[in-house]
Structure 1
Amino acid sequence: MKKLALWSLVAAVFLTSCGGDDEGDPKNGVGSVYVVNEGNFNQTNGSITSYDPESEEVSAFVFQTANSRPLGDVVQSLFIDTDKTGYVVVNNSKKVEVVNADFVSTATIEDNLANPRYLIRNKERLFVSNWGTFDESYTLDQSYVLILNAVTFEKEGAVNTDDGTENLVYADGYVYASNSFGNTVSVIKTSTGELETTLEVGYSPGEMVVDEDGAVWLICGGSYQGNDGAIYKLAASAATKEVDLEVNPSSRLSVSKTSGVLYYIAGTSAGSYQMEGKVLQKAFITIDDAVGFYGLGYSEAEDVIYIADAKGFQGKGTVYRYSADGTAISKFEAGVAPNGFVFK
Structure 2
Amino acid sequence: MPDVPPVQHAVDGLFVVCNGNYLAGNGSLSYYTPSDNSVENNVFERANGMKLGDTAQSMSIDGETGWICVNGSNVVYAIDVNTYKVKGHVTDIASPRNALVVGDHKMYVTALYDNRIAIVDPATYSVTGHIEVPGMDAATGSTEQMVKVGDYVYVNCWSYQKEILKIDTRNDKVVDRIEVGIQPQSIAYDRNNNALWVLCDGGGYATNPIGYEAPSISRINLGTFKVESTIGLAQYSSVSHLRYYNGNLYWLENGVQRMSTNAAEAPAEAFIPTESYSLYALDINPANGDIYVGDAIDWQQAGAVTRYNSSGEKINSFSTGIIPAGFCWKFGK
Q: TM-score, normalised by structure 1?
A: 0.82
2:228 maps to 1:212 = no
Return the offset for 1:51: 0.8
Return the offset for 1:143: 2.5
Contact 1:145 1:165 in 2 (8 A): yes
Contact 2:96 2:111 in 1 (8 A): yes
SS at match of 2:231: strand
Q: Distance in 2 between matches of 1:250 and 1:312?
A: 19
Structure 1: gaps (5+ residues): 1-29, 133-141
Deviations 1:132-167 (A, max 9, x none): 3xxxxxxxxx32211112322333321233322111
Aligned to 2:241: 252
Residues 278 and 321 of structure 1: CA distance in aligned 2, closer, same or farther (over 3 Å): farther
RMSD (Å) for aligned C-alpha atoms: 1.8
What is the 5 A alignment of 1:286-325? 286-288=273-275, 290-325=276-311
Q: Distance in 2 between matches of 1:227 and 1:53?
A: 39
Residue 242 of structure 1 is aligned with which of 218, 230, 234?
A: 230
Aligned to 1:271: 257
Residue 174 of structure 1 is aligned with which of 139, 144, 152?
A: 152
Aligned to 1:192: 171
Aligned to 1:136: none
Give the number of equivalent residue pairs.
300
Q: Distance in 2 between matches of 1:186 and 1:180?
A: 11
Residue 153 of structure 1 is aligned with which of 108, 113, 125?
A: 125
2:12 maps to 1:31 = yes
SS at match of 1:177: strand
Contact 1:38 1:336 in 2 (8 A): yes
Return the offset for 1:40: 0.4
Q: Distance in 1 between matches of 2:203 and 2:277?
A: 22
Q: Distance in 1 between matches of 2:228 and 2:324?
A: 31
Q: Distance in 2 between matches of 1:278 and 1:301?
A: 28
What is the 5 A alignment of 1:14-163? 31-81=12-62, 83-101=63-81, 102-111=83-92, 113-124=93-104, 125-132=106-113, 142-161=114-133, 162=136, 163=141
- Identity over the aligned pairs, expressed in percent? 28
Residue 202 of structure 1 is aligned with which of 171, 175, 181?
A: 181
Letter of the 2:126 counterpart: E
Q: Distance in 2 between matches of 1:313 and 1:151?
A: 36
Aligned to 2:4: none
Deviations 1:63-122 (A, max 9, x none): 1111010011000000011x12100000010010001122100001112x0111001111
Residues 34 and 278 of structure 1: CA distance in aligned 2, closer, same or farther (over 3 Å): farther
Q: TM-score, normalised by structure 2?
A: 0.85
Contact 1:206 1:220 in 2 (8 A): yes
Structure 2: gaps (5+ residues): 1-10, 206-211
Letter of the 2:203 counterpart: S
